[in-house]
Amino acid sequence: MINAKLDDPRAVVLAFANAYTQWESRVARTRDGLRNSDFQNQITEIIRSYCTNKKRAYVDGVYSYAQPPVYEQVVEANISNVEQVTRTRAYVDMKKLQGNAYRFVVLKKKDGWRIDSVKWRFSDNDEWKNTLIGS
């Protein structure tokens, strides 16, 4: 089990992004990449540790990685806003990264805050659109 601090939406997003970035970097450095069952188990554990427990049809069991890592720019300096919109829902917004702004939707569960979804938009005038975790 990853030692996840789940008491703050910002901390959850940053810890998730760091773990995901480290995982993608390790996969990219290996010869067998995603064929390695250890890497498959590691990404499953990262998602289980930081995300809500729900069926993710295009993420569960579908392993991929990016270079550069998809969340490598999700760092404290790039957070533009953290807003707790209800007692159990918060948004962690990122500055425009690689052409798009990103919003992590974080929900309060019994065991703490968990990422439920990720959204993106091109400009401030656009509506937020859903994207897959890890893409």
pTM: 0.88
Domain limits of the chain? Answer: 9-131
Query: Quick one: which of 8, 7, 126 has its CA closest to 76?
Result: 8
**Predicted pLDDT of residue 1:** 46
What's the topology of domain 9-131? Nuclear Transport Factor 2; Chain: A, (3.10.450)
Q: Is the pLDDT of residue 77 over 90?
A: yes
Average pLDDT of 22-36?
Answer: 82
Whole-angstrom distance, CA of residue 69 vs CA of residue 24 = 6
